[in-house]
Amino acid sequence: MKVYGVTGWKNAGKTGLMERLVAEITARGFSVSTVKHAHHTTDVDQPGTDSFRHRQAGAGEVLLASPHRWALMAELRDAPEPPLEALLARLSPADVVLVEGYKTAPHPKIEAHRAETGKALLSAENNSVRAIASDAPVESPLPRFDLDDTGAIADFILADLGLVMAAPSEAASGDLTPPRLRDDCFAMPQGVAWVPVNEALSRLKSVLRPVTGTETCATHAARGRVLAETAVARRSNPPRPNSAVDGYGFAHEATGEGVQRLPLVAGRAAAGQPFEGAVPAGHAVRILTGAILPEGVDTVVLEEDCAVNATHVAFDGPAKLRANTRKAGEDVTEGSPALPAGHRLRAPDLALLSALGLGEVTVQRKLRVGVLSTGDEIVPSPAEPALPHQIWDANRPMLLSLAEGWDYAPVDLGHVRDDQALIATRLDTAAKECDVILTSGGASAGDEDHVSALLRSQGTLSSWRIALKPGRPLALAMWNGTPVFGLPGNPVAALVCALIFARPALSLLAGAGWTEAQGFTVPAAFSKRKKPGRREFLRARLDAEGRAEVFASEGSGRISGLSWATGLVELPDEAVEIAPGSPVRFLPYEGLGLR
């Protein structure tokens, strides 16, 4: 199910906007459910109502029903409030769930804002806010809609969710490509000098959204693909109650304490060979693991706990009711959501989808990631000779294989010399073939930095001077509607910038949502003093004691250090003094999708 939120301060017009959006989106043929969250008492807390009285008296759950609707109310009493996810799982499938409130939850949101209610909440508090619906201009880099322009807001939400904007009849007709990103999406506010890493990340997170469109894919071929829709179970798992062991099955009711001797019926129940007919009470049947429980059987005793002859089985009672059996649907019930949209499928997910009868799934089209190298000194391939002033292209094979390892479709855009006209021609073709372009080299602001010069003059460039080592400026631009990440030429810096910035950004573009780098704290095996003001990443690996050792040289030209390492140590923006044993954050390559 696709979830979209409406947030805002009190009296900012949230409920009115919700109401109009529900009407608008259902009118377009989508089914809509809603969630309303309140910090205070709500409709059903009005004292004196019948259901209130039931609950006051101590009922755990109250089902309130009438010919018009029913509502199941669960009393939390001293239990903690469940997270939104857990509550969403209780809703029946719908195309869109609109959520009012829950402003800190990670789903995408639109923020309602009225000039009179004061400043907008915005990304400072929550960078999942995608746009503002306001009755007056607001200072913000996000798109703004008029609070009353429900049609435009609904268009934006449906596009942001990767759903259709047109009538549902057209929706059924084929794969859809969502609208392109805005040309000025990477613009930084005026006067920003050095951008801290976290701020750069949260800006990327708030301006990017899925760009791929959807297609169907056979489940067996779907590893690495991103679900575009909730996968809903076609059938329960298990579909019928069955036996968890090899043993003997019978009706619990007809057994008791002490030694039980039950006559055996002829035949047996096995997986794939169900027992025909019923087992009379007081009788037992031979049953094997995975076999459907025959009629009359609700309990199974393990064969190791039985004595058997040709006609009878005996065991020590009492047996526990339903022992060694599995209930129908105890794993997943038919019609329930099995995996959410945005989930990237792994091997176990293919097992789950197959078990639930899903032979194909709706997935995001693979993100096409173009990789281009620039520089007069670069020789495209080590299969060609290089003069002493030339170097072989190290970045392109690295970035192409990163993209492939992240389960995208890599597009080799080759190499171009430091010539703006040539770079422009190559980017023109690339923008048509790719969803996103990674370039390396020429990204700074010097004389020979032709990529940034070109993007500045002809694209829409925002050079982000990120407070990061290694990694000089990261150039971010739109070229004919396609985002371009201008990575540093230096392979060490190119890899760090790709792992830290491109990886989560690409994941968002691909419909899989933002991904945080996974790291853990380990003791350092090194000493280092670091000044405040920028984040640092060191090439590192764990020694035999699980301590992080770092590569002997921090020189950013040392490509061998990237291979020596099995991950990165991340040092915070602040000053730190590290001695052997100090805790440091280690980001293993695997957690960054590098393999």
Question: In the Cβ-directed half-sphere of 109, how many Cα atoms lie within 13 Å?
Answer: 25
Comparing C-alpha atoms, which of 419, 414, 476 is closest to residue 182? Answer: 476
Q: Binding partner of residue 199 among Mg ion, ligand AMP, none, CB under 5 to 8 Å per kind?
A: none
Q: What is the smallest separation between the CB atom of 569 and ligand AMP, expressed in angstroms?
A: 23
Q: What is the smallest separation between the CB atom of 471 and ligand AMP, expressed in angstroms?
A: 11
Two tokens, residue 494: 């190119």
- Nearest residue to ligand AMP by CB is 489
Three-state DSSP state, 37: coil
Comparing C-alpha atoms, which of 317, 320, 312, 318 is closest to residue 262? Answer: 312
Q: Binding partner of residue 488 among ligand AMP, Mg ion, none, CB under 5 to 8 Å per kind?
A: ligand AMP
Two tokens, residue 552: 């002997």
Interacting span for ligand AMP (CB under 6 A) from 113-121, 122-130, 389-397, 530-538? 389-397
Task: Give the number of residues written for the chain.
Answer: 595
What are the beta bridge partners of residue 283?
none
Question: In the Cβ-directed half-sphere of 395, how many Cα atoms lie within 13 Å?
Answer: 31
Q: What is the smallest separation between the CB atom of 492 and ligand AMP, expressed in angstroms?
A: 9
Cβ 319 vs Cβ 255: under 8 Å: yes
**x/- binding map, residues 351-380, to Mg ion, per CB under 5 A?**
------------------------x-----
Total site size for ligand AMP, rule CB under 6 A: 18
Distances (CA, A) of 203 to 105, 185, 188: 17, 9, 9
Q: What is the smallest separation between the CB atom of 199 and ligand AMP, expressed in angstroms?
A: 23
Residue partners of 324: CB distance under 8 A and separation at least 6: 243, 244, 245, 247, 299, 300, 301, 302
Distances (CA, A) of 428 to 179, 410, 483, 572: 19, 17, 12, 39
Q: What is the smallest separation between the CB atom of 502 and ligand AMP, expressed in angstroms?
A: 15
What are the beta bridge partners of residue 248?
286, 301
Question: What is the per-residue burial (b if ≥16 Cβ within 10 Å, else e) of 299-326?
Answer: bbbebeebeeeeeebbbeeebeeebbbb
Which of residues 2 and 396 has its CB atom nearest to ligand AMP in the complex? 396
Interacting span for ligand AMP (CB under 6 A) from 9-17, 230-238, 296-304, 374-382? 374-382
Interacting span for ligand AMP (CB under 6 A) from 98-106, 244-252, 487-495, 499-507? 487-495
Distances (CA, A) of 380 to 77, 374, 375, 386, 414: 67, 10, 10, 10, 7
Interacting span for Mg ion (CB under 5 A) from 61-69, 126-134, 440-448, 532-540? 440-448
Total site size for Mg ion, rule CB under 5 A: 4
The amino acid present at 450, given as its one-letter code, is H
Q: Binding partner of residue 443 among ligand AMP, Mg ion, none, CB under 5 to 8 Å per kind?
A: ligand AMP
Cβ 490 vs Cβ 559: under 8 Å: no
Q: Compute the distance between CA of residue 279 and CA of residue 223 in angstroms, rounded to an integer.
A: 44
Two tokens, residue 14: 């949230």
* 488 near ligand AMP (CB under 6 A): yes
Q: Compute the distance between CA of residue 23 and CA of residue 39 in angstroms, rounded to an integer.
A: 25
Q: What is the smallest separation between the CB atom of 557 and ligand AMP, expressed in angstroms?
A: 7
Residue partners of 388: CB distance under 8 A and separation at least 6: none
First to last CA, the chain: 32
The amino acid present at 273, given as its one-letter code, is Q
Q: What is the smallest separation between the CB atom of 448 and ligand AMP, expressed in angstroms?
A: 7
Q: What is the smallest separation between the CB atom of 377 and ligand AMP, expressed in angstroms?
A: 5
* 395 near ligand AMP (CB under 6 A): yes
Which of residues 294 and 489 has its CB atom nearest to Mg ion in the complex? 489
Q: What is the smallest separation between the CB atom of 482 and ligand AMP, expressed in angstroms?
A: 21
Taken in order 521, 527, 533, 535, the sign of the CA dihedral is negative
> What part of residues 170-189 is at the interface with Mg ion (CB under 5 A)?
none
Cβ 26 vs Cβ 32: under 8 Å: yes
Which residue of 441, 459, 486, 491 would you call a contact of Mg ion, by CB under 5 A?
A: 441
Cβ count near 100 (within 10 Å): 21
Q: Binding partner of residue 377 among Mg ion, ligand AMP, none, CB under 5 to 8 Å per kind?
A: ligand AMP
Which of residues 366 and 396 has its CB atom nearest to ligand AMP in the complex? 396
**x/- binding map, residues 482-501, to Mg ion, per CB under 5 A?**
-------x------------
Two tokens, residue 281: 């009470």
Q: What is the smallest separation between the CB atom of 497 and ligand AMP, expressed in angstroms?
A: 11
**x/- binding map, residues 416-455, to ligand AMP, per CB under 6 A?**
------------------------xxxxx-----------
Which residue of 249, 442, 471, 483 would you call a contact of Mg ion, by CB under 5 A?
A: 442
Interacting span for ligand AMP (CB under 6 A) from 7-15, 254-262, 386-394, 527-535? 386-394
Q: What is the smallest separation between the CB atom of 592 and ligand AMP, expressed in angstroms?
A: 20
Two tokens, residue 227: 């679900």
* 108 near Mg ion (CB under 5 A): no
**x/- binding map, residues 80-99, to Mg ion, per CB under 5 A?**
--------------------
Which of residues 200 and 394 has its CB atom nearest to ligand AMP in the complex? 394
Contact residues toward Mg ion (CB under 5 A) are 375, 441-442, 489
Residue ranges binding ligand AMP (CB under 6 A): 373, 375, 377-378, 391, 393-396, 440-444, 488-491
